[in-house]
Amino acid sequence: MIRSTHLPLVVTILTFLAAFVLCSGQYPAMMSTRVVANLLTDNAFLGIVAVGMTFVILSGGIDLSVGSVIAFTGVFLAVILRDTSIHPLAAFALVLAMTIAFGAAMGAIIHYLDMPAFIVTLAGMFLARGLAYVLSTDSVPITHEFYDVLQSLYWKAPGGGRFRLTGMVMLATFIIGMVVAHRTRFGQNVYALGGGAQTARLMGVPLASTTIGIYALSGGLAGLAGIVFSLYTSAGYSLATVGVELDAIAAVVIGGTLLSGGSGFVAGTFFGILIMGLIQTYIVFDGTLSSWWTKIVIGGLLFAFILLQKGLTWATTARRKPLIDFAAP
Amino acid sequence: MTHGLQATLRRVAPQLMILAAVLLLNVIVFPDFFRIEFQNGRLFGNLVDVFNRGAPTALLCIGMTLVIATRGIDLSVGAVMAIAGATAASLVADGSGWVTALLGALAVGVLCGLWNGVLVAVLRIQPIVATLVLMVAGRGIAQLITEGTILTFVNPGLIHLGAGTVLGVPTPILIWIGLGALITLGVRRTALGMLVEAIGINESSSRLAGINSRVLLICVYLVTGFCAALAGVIVAADIKGADANNAGLWLELDAILAVVIGGNSLLGGRFSIVASLIGALIIQSVNSVILLSGLPPEFNLVIKALIIIAILVIQSPTVKHALYILRASAESAGVDTPAASASAPLAKSTETAR
């Protein structure tokens, strides 16, 4: 018996499998480990940032700053590796500490000043992007032997697919994210907060530390995504990853998480990422479709999944439905 | 009438003060800021530029104010701008006149608004999600219309809308002031404004009171789509081309920011279009002060973010409440400073708005 709360997740997984079978029916070459490995590598940074976004959205908030934080991280790493002799690992630790602090500061403003997450993270988006500009407006290449070492780490699967380190980092992030969301007190607090801040407070959920923790987590994961992105491109560019926050939100929604918070799964986001990656792979394979179809198809998918969620909510609450329905805030 | 004017002035007083402060900053970094010249049949001056460059944000925030007053939000306005600009450009490229192109673009904008409105009002999808669909898909649709290129045009009628003047005043200024005045009068001289506020405060009770909230909600999104389309045509006419990728990019965020700086609650309810329009001018003045100060352009975004954070912190409910408590205790102690009494109505209106 599938519980209704699991149904969006099941539908997402089925959609992915159906789409994959359809695509590989048309282009048998898609059924190779190469395509699967590239799917993981190309979407690694998006996946990592989407895990953080899942937590934020589960709590009923939103984080618009992640794309800018990724760009800032990339530029910061490139500049610090160019200008100082610091080891990349130390630079990673430094930048992660900065992005976590940045996220925590946004969470603190949201909680203590009682301001909407939308506006606070919007200001954060401007700030992070602006700091990236201040560091450098040009694309700064990263040439450090340690980067070459990290980039050459991969496991070659039969069929020629190369499962690179960055893809593995994304998978690990998803697994840790699932454990944290479903098996820890912090995860339960996040769900409770998404169900209703007032109720959560009455139940004894520490609102301040949970809110700050959520945005610190999202900021930290955006920093990690920035590190992965800099490994992927070997450069830092302040104009990179514009609009990634929207892709991440779309992946979370396609993954079956309610944007109003309180309901959803980290695993769903993983399949949301894979579906979006699959659309792009299909367009590359097709060769005649233009890249703007990606946006239209993702928009259409978003719409379909929102309708599905709406239908499910309506079906499961029909018996308790009040005489007058009204729009959710 | 004078009472209404007084109430409006009282409502927008904080915004006017912020605007005055930012304009003062402009004068400090650039003493000739307020000089306006009349050359070649056109007004020139930095102040004129602030009004002219602020036109797209100002137009967007007219509709956005209404949507936010119903407790909604419209993330798709930037994408609708791109679609409308692309429509106008492709119509002109196909040999239509500028009137047809303008009407076509506006019709497309209204259609986009209808789509958003139906999703929100009939299908009952949260506004932020419902409009996200068009925000993501919209730029793809715009690129479909322009076929991936930047469509340029030379139609003088259409260009006049973005870069021309009427009696020496740049057309965009007249358009946004005109539309702002029209819609403000439309909602304030009739009961419409109050009905919109009622929906934002509590939709189910407004419906029990006999308000046709469904139709009204759709209408509000229609107005937003219309405003966005107009802004899109102006932006396209200004650069004599429709850029599906960059037209109106992130302008939805500027528009929402203008509404918030205008003191309107994102939780719906009481609204003031005039305050939002002043908010749009504040944002444009901030841009102008950064440009005029001659700082390296890299610092633009950082400074803008810091100024925005400062304005938001000043307006945040917690800080306002703390000020209110502070003032209340000062008054009970028999100390009534002029500053406290001048800003007292602000605190009162905040309390009622919450």
What's the rounded mean pLDDT across residues B319-345? 65
Share the mean pLDDT of chain B: 85
Cβ distance B128 to A259 less than 8 Å, yes or no, reads yes
Q: Which residues on A lie below 8 Å from B208 (Cβ)?
A: 324
Cβ distance B123 to A307 less than 8 Å, yes or no, reads yes
Q: Which of A22-26, A194-198, A312-316, B9-13 has the lowest mean pLDDT?
A: A312-316
What's the rounded mean pLDDT across residues A137-153? 86
Q: Which of B127, B204, B316 sits opposite A114 (nearest CB)?
A: B316
Cβ distance A133 to B300 less than 8 Å, yes or no, reads yes
Please give the residue of chain B at the shortest CA–CA distance from A311: B123
Q: Which residue has the tokens 């980067």?
A: A147
Please give the residue of chain A at the shortest CA–CA distance from B250: A243
Q: Residue A318: pLDDT above 70?
A: no
pLDDT of residue A3: 62
- Listed in sequence order, the residues at least 6 apart from A88 whose beta carbon sits closer than 8 Å to its beta carbon are A77, A81, A144, A146, A147, A150
Please give the residue of chain A at the shortest CA–CA distance from B148: A292
Q: Which residues on B lie below 8 Å from A296 (Cβ)?
A: 137, 140-141, 144
What's the rounded mean pLDDT across residues B235-239? 91
Residues A220/A96, Cβ–Cβ less than 8 Å:
yes
Residues A248/A50, Cβ–Cβ less than 8 Å:
yes
Q: Which residues on A lie below 8 Å from B141 (Cβ)?
A: 296
pLDDT of residue B334: 55
Cβ distance A246 to B266 less than 8 Å, yes or no, reads no
pLDDT tens digit sequence for A31-71: 788 888 888 889 999 999 999 999 999 999 999 899 999 99
> Would an 8 Å CB–CB cutoff place A317 in contact with chain B?
no
- The SS3 assignment for A163 reads strand
What's the rounded mean pLDDT across residues A101-111? 95
Q: Which residues on B lie below 8 Å from A126 (Cβ)?
A: 301-302, 304-305, 308
* Percentage of residues in chain B having pLDDT higher than 90: 38
Q: Residue B345: pLDDT above 60?
A: no
Chain centroid to CA B135: 17
- The SS3 assignment for B43 reads strand
Paired residues of B38 in beta bridges: B43
Q: Residue A11: pLDDT above 60?
A: yes
pLDDT tens digit sequence for B135-156: 888 888 998 888 888 888 888 8
Show me where the domains of chain A are located.
7-317
Cβ distance A126 to B308 less than 8 Å, yes or no, reads yes
Nearest to A216 by CA among A59, A56, A57, A50: A56
At residue B344 the predicted structure's pLDDT band, cuts being 50, 70 and 90, is very low
For residue A10, what are the CA distances in angstroms to A15, A178, A307, A311, B323? 8, 16, 15, 15, 51
- Site from B120, B133, B250 to mutate, A interface, most A CB atoms within 10 angstroms: B133
Q: Is the dihedral of CA B233, B234, B237, B238 positive or negative?
A: negative
Q: Report d(CA B81, CA B180) in Å as an integer.
A: 18
Show me where the domains of chain B are located.
44-298
- Burial bucket for residue A258 (CB in 10 Å: 0-12, 13-18, 19+): buried
Q: Which residues on A lie below 8 Å from B309 (Cβ)?
A: 123, 127
φ/ψ (deg, to 5) at B93: -65, -30
Q: Report d(CA B303, CA B281) in Å as an integer.
A: 17
- Site from A57, A119, A245, A313 to mutate, B interface, most B CB atoms within 10 angstroms: A119
Q: Which of B136, B203, B260 sits opposite A119 (nearest CB)?
A: B260
pLDDT of residue B267: 80
What's the rounded mean pLDDT across residues B179-206? 92
Nearest to A50 by CA among A275, A281, A239, A200: A275
What's the rounded mean pLDDT across residues A162-178? 91
At residue B340 the predicted structure's pLDDT band, cuts being 50, 70 and 90, is very low
Cβ distance B309 to A292 less than 8 Å, yes or no, reads no
What's the rounded mean pLDDT across residues A145-166? 82
Helix axis angle, B251-261 relative to A117-135, nearest 10°? 120
Nearest to A224 by CA among A166, A143, A147, A140: A166
pLDDT of residue B115: 94
Please give the residue of chain A at the shortest CA–CA distance from B140: A292
Chain A, chain B: beta-carbon pairs less than 8 Å apart: 143
Q: Report d(CA B66, CA A320) in Å as an integer.
A: 32
Helices (H) and strands (E) in chain A, counts: 14, 4
Structure tokens belonging to residue B69: 């007053």
State the nearest Cα–Cα gap between A17 and chain B, in angstroms. 23
Say which CATH class A7-317 falls into: mainly alpha
* Percentage of residues in chain A having pLDDT higher than 70: 94
Residues A231/A150, Cβ–Cβ less than 8 Å:
yes
State the nearest Cα–Cα gap between A18 and chain B, in angstroms. 23
Cβ distance A133 to B123 less than 8 Å, yes or no, reads no
φ/ψ (deg, to 5) at A27: -125, 95
Residues B347/B320, Cβ–Cβ less than 8 Å:
yes
Q: Residue A319: pLDDT above 80?
A: no
Nearest to A263 by CA among A2, A77, A54: A54
- Listed in sequence order, the residues at least 6 apart from B84 whose beta carbon sits closer than 8 Å to its beta carbon are B105, B106, B108, B109, B228, B229, B230, B231, B232, B233, B236
pLDDT of residue A323: 47
Cβ distance A298 to B123 less than 8 Å, yes or no, reads no
State the nearest Cα–Cα gap between A267 and chain B, in angstroms. 21
Nearest to A257 by CA among A53, A65, A67, A66: A53
At residue A314 the predicted structure's pLDDT band, cuts being 50, 70 and 90, is confident
Paired residues of B165 in beta bridges: B170
Cβ distance B133 to A324 less than 8 Å, yes or no, reads no
State the nearest Cα–Cα gap between B261 and chain A, in angstroms. 11
Q: Residue A2: pLDDT above 70?
A: no
Share the mean pLDDT of chain A: 87
At residue A290 the predicted structure's pLDDT band, cuts being 50, 70 and 90, is confident
What's the rounded mean pLDDT across residues B238-250? 83
pLDDT of residue A128: 93
Paired residues of B44 in beta bridges: B37
Residues A239/A171, Cβ–Cβ less than 8 Å:
no
Structure tokens belonging to residue B256: 């929402």
Structure tokens belonging to residue B4: 């209404």
**Residue B263's CB: how many other CB atoms inside 10 A?**
24
- The better pLDDT of the pair A101, A310 is held by A101
Q: Which residues on A lie below 8 Å from B136 (Cβ)?
A: 246, 250, 295, 298-299, 302
Q: Which of B125, B298, B309 sits opposite A134 (nearest CB)?
A: B298
pLDDT tens digit sequence for B7-64: 888 888 888 988 998 899 888 888 888 888 888 777 888 888 899 999 999 999 999 9
| Residue A155 region by backbone torsions, left for phi larger than 0, else alpha for psi between -120 and 50, else beta | beta
Q: Which residues on A lie below 8 Å from B140 (Cβ)?
A: 292-296, 299
Residue positions counted in chain A: 329
pLDDT of residue B234: 94
Q: B44-298 domain in CATH 1.10.3470?
A: yes
pLDDT of residue B1: 52
Q: Which of A224-238, B60-74, B239-253 has the lowest mean pLDDT?
A: B239-253
pLDDT of residue A328: 46
- The better pLDDT of the pair A42, A308 is held by A42
Q: Are strands B37-39 and B42-44 parallel, antiparallel or unpaired?
A: antiparallel
Which amino acid is residue A53, in one-letter code?
M
Q: Which residues on A lie below 8 Å from B137 (Cβ)?
A: 295-296, 298-300, 302-303
Q: Residue B121: pLDDT above 70?
A: yes
Q: Which residue has the tokens 């409105």?
A: B117
Structure tokens belonging to residue A328: 């959710």
- Site from B129, B208, B354 to mutate, A interface, most A CB atoms within 10 angstroms: B129
- Burial bucket for residue A130 (CB in 10 Å: 0-12, 13-18, 19+): buried
Q: Which residues on A lie below 8 Å from B138 (Cβ)?
A: 299
pLDDT tens digit sequence for B252-309: 888 988 998 888 887 888 899 999 999 999 999 988 888 888 877 777 778 778 877 8
pLDDT of residue B55: 94
pLDDT of residue A1: 44
Residues A186/A210, Cβ–Cβ less than 8 Å:
yes
Cβ distance A290 to B143 less than 8 Å, yes or no, reads yes
Q: Which residues on A lie below 8 Å from B73 (Cβ)?
A: 118
A151-155, A191-195, A300-304 — which one is most confidently predicted on average? Answer: A191-195
Nearest to A212 by CA among A304, A120, A302: A120
Cβ distance B136 to A299 less than 8 Å, yes or no, reads yes
Q: In chain A, how long is the greatest CA-to-CA distance?
A: 68
- Site from B136, B243, B309 to mutate, A interface, most A CB atoms within 10 angstroms: B136
Write out the DSSP string of B12-35: HHHHHHHHHHHHHHHHHH-TTTT-
- The better pLDDT of the pair B324, A226 is held by A226
pLDDT of residue A157: 76
Whole-prediction pTM value? 0.82
Please give the residue of chain A at the shortest CA–CA distance from B320: A113
Q: Residue A28: pLDDT above 90?
A: no
Buried b (16+ CB within 10 A) or exposed e, B269-279: bbbbbbbbbbb
φ/ψ (deg, to 5) at A282: -60, -45
